[in-house]
Amino acid sequence: MTTILPASRFARRAGGAEGDLRAARPTTLQVNVGKRCNQACRHCHVDASPTRTEVMPDEVVEACLDVLARTPELDTLDITGGAPELHPRFREMVARGRALGRKVMVRHNLTVQFEPGLADLPGFFASHRVEVVCSLPHYTEEATDRQRGRGVFARSIEGLRALNAEGYGREGGLVLNLVANPVGAFLPPAQGDLERDTREWLRVHHGVVFDRLFTITNMPIARFALWLQRAGNYDAYMARLEAAFNPATLPGLMCRSLVSVGFDGRLYDCDFNQMLELGLEEGQPARIQDFDLGRLRGRRVRTGEHCFGCTAGAGSSCGGALA
Amino acid sequence: MPAYFDDDDLAHFGDLKQHAPELWTAFERYYAAAFEACLFSKRDKVLIGFAVAQVSQCPYCIDSYTQTALEQGLTMKHLAEALHAAASLRAGIALAHGLVAHNIDKKISM
């Protein structure tokens, strides 16, 4: 028997009375290889930290690569975590994804370069022409360190310099993008404005260059939600997100073009639903081993109040603003 | 009345419209137009608003413009610079008014 869940408040707003937010054809396989990270950032929607033990097992790694091999429509492999570089088979996944001719993106926190044995990551990325997407909440040291921990900004700058030294961010085809998110309970600024300010500041003060900057709205789940509640900001933040709902963001929502794989192989509409354990709707493939593009295309997206985070203001996605 | 200033009041600013709707609508249009990006960016105008809010000592405006400034990508470091620029001008204005005392003294004292 199929259980029909009531449409969330978000779905009613986004998809009308029936709450019918539908996915398009997936083009990106976003793989979360585990929750272990060398950092424990205050805004992290994964609750990642050095003490987490969830790691994608071999059979799931193989299943992801198998799906990629047999599904040419998936043109992008997007590897995330935690710090995905800490996964024992991370480099193999990158190499095999590239060998299949796919664009490979890695969500890179910069400071992981300073973990034992990982200093050669920039060179590895360059040799495989990985698109590197780096977290840098703000171009000022004080703001970034407040969110990500003391000393993180300085190490991030060192990490960016190492990537620049390999040719990243220099318009030679090695793509280095930054991701900035608000250091608090408010919406991000206009992406173009922050990109301009960040480019100028990092160039003048730190000699660092990059390609694009993406703004991302902090998602009211996991560790960030906990902080919102503790600081007495939760209700006001949710109201802010909902009041800023922008229907122009809907066509570009990342849930419409990607499928998210959890460390245990379960499938989700996005990385946020993954953290909420909000799996694909009933009747859809539940695990990567059951991946079926035909069934996933046009599926109804599972939504919740957190989805207002992606539609507020100019919108938010793994690729930045949407409108 | 528990307090003269309550942060919940900010959401009810528009309640004042009922007392003089046409004037209120005119104010809303003027306010929106004045803060449109033109020769100055939206962010520049938000900073002007923040500085005016501070020196005018309006808690509603300080609350609102601090949040707006953060959403423009500014940090408390930026706002502190603006605050000191505004405050130093206020200090200078206070001192400049000392010229009145100075001039009076010069005129009537021997």
Which CATH class, in words, describes the domain spanning A9-311? alpha beta
* CB spacing of B75 vs A197 below 8 angstroms: no
- pLDDT of A294-319, one tens digit each? 999 999 999 999 999 999 999 999 88
Q: How far apart are CA A56 and CA A260, in angstroms?
A: 13
* CB spacing of A142 vs B77 below 8 angstroms: yes
A271 and A278 in contact (C-beta within 8 Å)?
no
Q: What does the pLDDT read at residue B4?
A: 83
- pLDDT of A254-270, one tens digit each? 999 999 999 999 999 99
- Residues of B in Cβ contact (< 8 Å) with A239: none
Instruction: List A residues 97-136 in contact with B (Cβ-Cβ < 8 A).
Output: none
Question: For the whole prediction, is pTM greater than 0.80?
Answer: yes
pLDDT band at B25 (very low <50, low <70, confident <90, very high): very high
- pLDDT of A187-200, one tens digit each? 999 999 999 999 99
- Residues of B in Cβ contact (< 8 Å) with A187: 71
Provide mean pLDDT across the span A185-214.
96
- Interface contacts A/B by beta carbons within 8 Å: 31
Please, what are the domains in chain B? 41-110 (1.20.1290.10)
pLDDT at A14 over 50: yes
Least confident of A168-172, B16-20, B26-30: A168-172
- Beta strands A176-180 and A131-135 are parallel
3-state secondary structure of A132: strand
More confident residue, A1 or B66: B66
Q: How far apart are CA A187 and CA A182, in angstroms?
A: 6
* CB spacing of B73 vs A194 below 8 angstroms: yes
* CB spacing of B75 vs A188 below 8 angstroms: no
Instruction: List B residues 1-30 in contact with A (Cβ-Cβ < 8 A).
Output: none
CA closest to B76 among chain A residues: A143
CA angle (A175 as vertex; A172, A179 as ends), nearest 5 = 145
A289 and A63 in contact (C-beta within 8 Å)?
yes
For chain A, domain boundaries: 9-311
- A160 min Cα distance to partner chain B (Å): 21
